[in-house]
């Protein structure tokens, strides 16, 4: 059985799960070069194209740049964009925009099934 989108988002109506983006950068740091370029070129248009998103731009002098994404479910995800190019930053932002708000969690097993036993589990009285 294929894994369905959470809450069947997109089956009838698609609701973007991203609520808020906070782009934190440093004005002078070398690792912030990509995100600075992104901020000067693309971010205004990106914010206009996505009116449901609030985009905050915050200066954090002396620290590496990052993007903090907050979702409708209340989860947040922090992506470090240190030393990334403009294309990589834009790629990460579009990845956040299209993601569901589920927390990235290490899977305990590589498989998942809702019905592990079709005919019923073994019981001590099965073959008595």
**Binding residues for another protein, per CB under 8 A?**
116-119, 121-122, 126-127
How far apart are CB 123 and another protein at their closest, in Å? 9
How far apart are CB 113 and another protein at their closest, in Å? 10
Nearer to another protein, 30 or 120 (CB): 120
How far apart are CB 22 and another protein at their closest, in Å? 26
Rounded Cα gap, residues 39 and 51, in angstroms: 17
Nearer to another protein, 13 or 128 (CB): 128
Nearer to another protein, 2 or 126 (CB): 126
Nearest to 69 by CA among 48, 114, 42, 99: 99
| 4's tokens | 């369905």
- Indicate the helix (H) or strand (E) that contains 124: none
Crossing angle of the two packed helices 33-41 and 86-97, in degrees rounded to 10: 70
Locus of tokens 């905050």: 56
CA distances for 67 relative to 2, 22, 45, 55, angstroms: 31, 6, 17, 10
How far apart are CB 63 and another protein at their closest, in Å? 17
């Amino acid at each position: 059985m294929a894994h369905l989108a959470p809450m069947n988002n997109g089956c009838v109506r698609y609701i973007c799960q991203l609520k808020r983006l906070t782009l934190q950068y440093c004005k002078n740091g070398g690792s912030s070069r990509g995100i600075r370029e992104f901020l000067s070129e693309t971010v205004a248009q990106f914010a206009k194209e996505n009116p449901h998103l609030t985009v905050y731009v915050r200066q954090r002098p002396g620290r590496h740049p990052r993007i903090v994404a907050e979702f409708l479910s209340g989860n947040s995800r922090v992506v470090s964009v240190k030393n990334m190019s403009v294309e990589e930053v834009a790629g990460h932002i579009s990845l956040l925009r299209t993601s569901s708000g589920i927390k990235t969690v290490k899977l305990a097993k590589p498989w998942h099934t809702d019905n592990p036993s079709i005919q019923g589990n073994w019981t001590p009285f099965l073959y008595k």
